[in-house]
Structure 1
Amino acid sequence: MRRTAVLPRPARGPAVPALALVTALVLAGCTGSDDGDSGGSADSGGSDDPAVAGAVTAAPDAARTLVPDADPVAAAVSTSRALYESSDVAVVAGGGDVDAELLGAVAAVGLGVPLLLGSGDPADVLGAELDRLGVQTVLAVGDAAADLVPGGSDDVDVVAVPADAEALAEATGLDLAEPTTVPDAERAAAVAGLAPDALPVLTAEAPPAPASPTETAAEGSETGASETGSEASETESEASEPAEATGELPEVQRPEPLEDVVVLASGDAQSLAGIATARAAGAEVLLTGGVVDPRGSAEVVERLAAEPTVVVLGADLAGAPGIDWKLDTVATGTQLPGGGQLLFPEHTLIALYGIPGSGALGLLGEQDLPGAIARAQQYADEYRPLVDNTVVPTFEIIATVASASAGPDGNYSAEQDVETLRPWVEAAGEAGLYVVLDLQPGRTDFLTPAKQYEPLLTLPYVGLALDPEWRLKPGEVHLRQIGQVDIDEVNQVVTWLADLVRENDLPQKLLVLHQFQVRMIVDRERLDTSRDELAILVHVDGQGSQPAKQTTWEVLHRGAPEPLYWGWKNFIDEDEPMISPQETIETVQPTPELVTYQ
Structure 2
Amino acid sequence: MRPVLAALLVAALAGCSADKPKPVERQPSAAAPSVVPTSSARPVAPAQLPQGGTKIFPAYRVVAYYGTAGNSTLGVLGEGSPDKMLPKLRAAAKPFAGGRKVQPAYELIASVAQAGPGADGNYSRMIPLSRIQEYVEHARRHKVLLILDLQPGRGDFLPQARRLERFLVQPHVGLALDPEWRMPKGKVPGKTIGRVGAAEVNRVSGYLSGLVRAHKLPEKLFVLHQFRASMLPDITRIRKQPGLALVQHVDGFGTRSEKDATWNRLRRPQQFHLGYKLFYDEDVKRYRAADVLKFKPVPELVSFQ
TM-score scaled to structure 2, two decimals? 0.84
Q: Deviations over 1:155-181 (max 9, x none)?
A: xxxxxxxxxxxxxxxxxxxxxxxxxxx
What is the match of residue 565 of structure 1? 273
What is the match of residue 142 of structure 1? none
Structure 1 segments of 4+ aligned residues over 3 angstroms from their partners:
none
Q: Is the contact between residue 338 and residue 391 of structure 1 (CA under 8 Å) also seen in structure 2? A: no
SS of match in other structure, 2:174: strand
| Mapped pair 1:370 → 2:83 | yes
What is the match of residue 534 of structure 1? 244
SS of match in other structure, 1:448: helix
Evaluate the alpha carbon distance shift between residue 333 and residue 481 of structure 1 in structure 2; reply closer, same or farther with a 3 A threshold.
closer
> How far 1:550 sits from its partner (Å)?
1.3
Evaluate the alpha carbon distance shift between residue 63 and residue 345 of structure 1 in structure 2; reply closer, same or farther with a 3 A threshold.
farther
Q: Is the contact between residue 48 and residue 217 of structure 2 (CA under 8 Å) also seen in structure 1? A: no
What is the match of residue 596 of structure 1? 303
Of residues 223, 228, 233 in structure 2, which corresponds to 1:522?
A: 233
Distance between the aligned counterparts of 2:218 and 2:210, measured in 1? 12
| Mapped pair 1:461 → 2:168 | no
What is the match of residue 25 of structure 2? none
Q: Is the contact between residue 195 and residue 230 of structure 2 (CA under 8 Å) also seen in structure 1? A: yes
Q: Is the contact between residue 343 and residue 508 of structure 1 (CA under 8 Å) also seen in structure 2? A: yes
> How far 1:549 sits from its partner (Å)?
1.0
Of residues 105, 121, 124 in structure 2, which corresponds to 1:413?
A: 124
Structure number with higher relative contact order (C-alpha < 8 Å, ≥ 6 residues apart) = 2
Q: Is the contact between residue 338 and residue 347 of structure 1 (CA under 8 Å) also seen in structure 2? A: no
Report matched runs for 1:159-170 at 5 Å: none
Evaluate the alpha carbon distance shift between residue 561 and residue 525 of structure 1 in structure 2; reply closer, same or farther with a 3 A threshold.
farther
Q: What are the ranges of 5 or more consecutive residues in structure 2 without an aligned counterpart?
A: 1-38
Report matched runs for 1:248-267 at 5 Å: none
What is the match of residue 578 of structure 1? 286
Amino acid at match of 2:298: T
What is the match of residue 298 of structure 1? none
> How far 1:338 sits from its partner (Å)?
2.5
> How far 1:333 sits from its partner (Å)?
5.0
Q: What are the ranges of 5 or more consecutive residues in structure 1 without an aligned counterpart?
A: 1-61, 65-306, 308-327
Q: Is the contact between residue 507 and residue 533 of structure 1 (CA under 8 Å) also seen in structure 2? A: yes
| Mapped pair 1:356 → 2:63 | no
> How far 1:395 sits from its partner (Å)?
0.2
> How far 1:369 sits from its partner (Å)?
2.1
Amino acid at match of 1:369: P
TM-score scaled to structure 1, two decimals? 0.43
Report matched runs for 1:217-296 at 5 Å: none
Q: Deviations over 1:273-299 (max 9, x none)?
A: xxxxxxxxxxxxxxxxxxxxxxxxxxx
What is the match of residue 550 of structure 1? 260
Distance between the aligned counterparts of 1:418 and 1:344, measured in 2? 29
Report matched runs for 1:187-206 at 5 Å: none
Q: Deviations over 1:45-93 (max 9, x none)?
A: xxxxxxxxxxxxxxxxx969xxxxxxxxxxxxxxxxxxxxxxxxxxxxx
Q: Is the contact between residue 355 and residue 365 of structure 1 (CA under 8 Å) also seen in structure 2? A: yes
Q: Is the contact between residue 180 and residue 226 of structure 2 (CA under 8 Å) also seen in structure 1? A: yes
> How far 1:377 sits from its partner (Å)?
1.5
> How far 1:337 sits from its partner (Å)?
2.0
Identical-pair percentage: 40
SS of match in other structure, 1:482: coil
Amino acid at match of 1:546: R
Over the aligned positions, Cα root-mean-square deviation in angstroms equals 1.6
> How far 1:332 sits from its partner (Å)?
2.5
What is the match of residue 29 of structure 2? none
SS of match in other structure, 1:342: coil
